[in-house]
């Protein structure tokens, strides 16, 4: 089964009502490859605004995070049910900024992922190693540890609601993109791990995105690799070149 190309735009803590409206309107006017599934993830405060503005059938709106408790005294958090109530069907989880700055462990990320899926929200689940971990030869071990924590919580059809984003931390927001070979190697290792530890079908069907300084210039070569099924894009998702990244297979 061919995996549908997927491009996510992570706006992080950027934007205003005006700029987010303008980004979405830019996407609305653009000629987007109809074979690419696109999600854009503005800050929570602007989810509804983005949702109201999106007119392209292939573009959906995603949260950047969600909590794993149904409701109650969790100041500052948003529940899966609240996303659903706002007709938001996607969330990013386990972004390295949440892991490193906000202290989310592999287990917390896995638990949030399970809660999102159980509540009907699909997940762009992020993993990836630090520069130190890469330089000490531990890249695959780190990613496998993160995957093992996820696989301990999710099973069966849950995997149909997960898109994996491999994002080496040293490449995020640094302008230092992984080489095509570095990215493909880790994507292949992730697929092998899924085959060995989950199932042939999950390994075959799960989309694995690359994230880390993707831009309008480097996206085409990365997109040619057999295990790269799309991108999670930070900085460039705020710029017109996001359209070129979506269209990287054209
Ligand atoms: C990200 O935040 O997920 C990301 C990949 O950022 P950037 O594209 O800016 O490196």
Q: What is the pLDDT of residues 221-231, one digit of tens each?
A: 999 999 999 99
3-state secondary structure of 92: strand
Within 8 A by CB and 6+ apart from 24, the residues are 40, 50, 53, 54
Question: At 103, is the pLDDT very low, low, confident or very high (cuts 50, 70, 90)?
Answer: very high
Q: In which residue are the tokens 């300084």 written?
A: 213
Quick: pLDDT tens for 109-140.
999 999 999 999 999 999 999 999 999 999 99
**pLDDT at 146 (0 to 100):** 98
Cβ–Cβ contacts within 10 Å for residue 230, how many?
30
Average pLDDT of span 87-104: 98
pTM to 2 decimal places: 0.98
Quick: pLDDT tens for 46-93.
999 999 999 999 999 999 999 999 999 999 999 999 999 999 999 999
Which domain, by its residues, includes 40?
A: 5-246
CA angle 166, 8, 178 (to 5 degrees): 35
Nearest CA to ligand 1 atom 3: 234
Q: Which two tokens stand for residue 109?
A: 């990320």
Average pLDDT of span 179-194: 98
**pLDDT at 1 (0 to 100):** 64
Distance of alpha carbon 208 from alpha carbon 154, whole angstroms: 17
Nearest CA to ligand 1 atom 4: 234
Residue from 93, 94, 84 nearest 119 by CA? 84
The closest-lying atom of ligand 1 relative to the alpha carbon of residue 171 is 10
Q: Which two tokens stand for residue 63?
A: 């949260």
Q: What percent of the chain has pLDDT over 70?
A: 100
Average pLDDT of span 13-35: 98
Distance of alpha carbon 26 from alpha carbon 242, whole angstroms: 10
Q: Which two tokens stand for residue 124?
A: 């762009």
Question: At 234, is the pLDDT very low, low, confident or very high (cuts 50, 70, 90)?
Answer: very high
Q: What percent of the chain has pLDDT over 90?
A: 98
Clarify whether 77 is annotated catalytic: no
Domain at 239, CATH number: 3.20.20.70
Clarify whether 167 is annotated catalytic: yes
Centroid of ligand 1 to alpha carbon of 209 (angstroms): 12
150 CB less than 6 Å from ligand 1?
A: no
Question: Which conformational region is residue 175 in: left (phi greater than 0), alpha (psi within -120 to 50 degrees), or beta?
Answer: left
167 CB less than 6 Å from ligand 1?
A: yes
Nearest CA to ligand 1 atom 8: 234
CA angle 243, 244, 249 (to 5 degrees): 115
Catalytic residue among 97, 133, 144, 167: 167
User: What rounded mean pLDDT belongs to the chain?
Assistant: 97
Q: Which two tokens stand for residue 61?
A: 């709106």
Domain count, the chain: 1
Whether 196 shows a pLDDT value over 80: the answer reads yes
**pLDDT at 173 (0 to 100):** 93
Centroid of ligand 1 to alpha carbon of 71 (angstroms): 30
Whether 9 shows a pLDDT value over 90: the answer reads yes
Average pLDDT of span 96-112: 98
42 CB less than 6 Å from ligand 1?
A: no
Give, rounded to a whole angstrom, the gap between the first and last alpha carbons of the chain: 20
Cβ–Cβ contacts within 10 Å for residue 228, how many?
24
């Amino acid at each position: 089964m061919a995996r549908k190309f997927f491009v996510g735009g992570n706006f992080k803590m950027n934007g205003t009502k005006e700029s987010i409206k303008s980004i979405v309107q830019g996407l609305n006017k653009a000629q987007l490859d109809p074979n690419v599934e696109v999600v854009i993830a503005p800050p929570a405060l602007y989810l509804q605004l983005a949702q109201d503005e999106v007119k392209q059938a292939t573009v959906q709106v995603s949260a950047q995070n969600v909590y794993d408790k149904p409701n109650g005294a969790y100041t500052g958090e948003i529940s899966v049910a609240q996303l659903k109530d706002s007709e938001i069907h996607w969330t990013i989880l386990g972004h390295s900024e949440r892991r490193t700055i906000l202290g989310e462990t592999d287990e917390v990320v896995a638990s949030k992922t399970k809660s999102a899926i159980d509540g009907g929200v699909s997940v762009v689940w992020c993993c990836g190693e630090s520069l130190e971990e890469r330089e000490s030869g531990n890249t695959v071990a780190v990613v496998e540890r993160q995957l093992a924590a996820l696989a301990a919580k999710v099973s069966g059809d849950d995997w149909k609601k997960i898109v994996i984003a491999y994002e080496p931390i040293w490449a995020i927001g640094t302008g230092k993109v992984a080489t095509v070979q570095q990215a493909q190697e880790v994507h292949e290792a992730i697929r092998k791990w899924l085959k060995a530890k989950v199932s042939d079908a999950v390994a075959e069907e799960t989309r694995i995105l690359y994230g880390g300084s993707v831009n309008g210039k480097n996206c085409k070569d990365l997109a040619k690799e057999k295990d790269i099924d799309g991108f999670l894009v930070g900085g460039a998702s705020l710029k017109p070149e996001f359209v070129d990244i979506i269209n990287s297979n054209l």
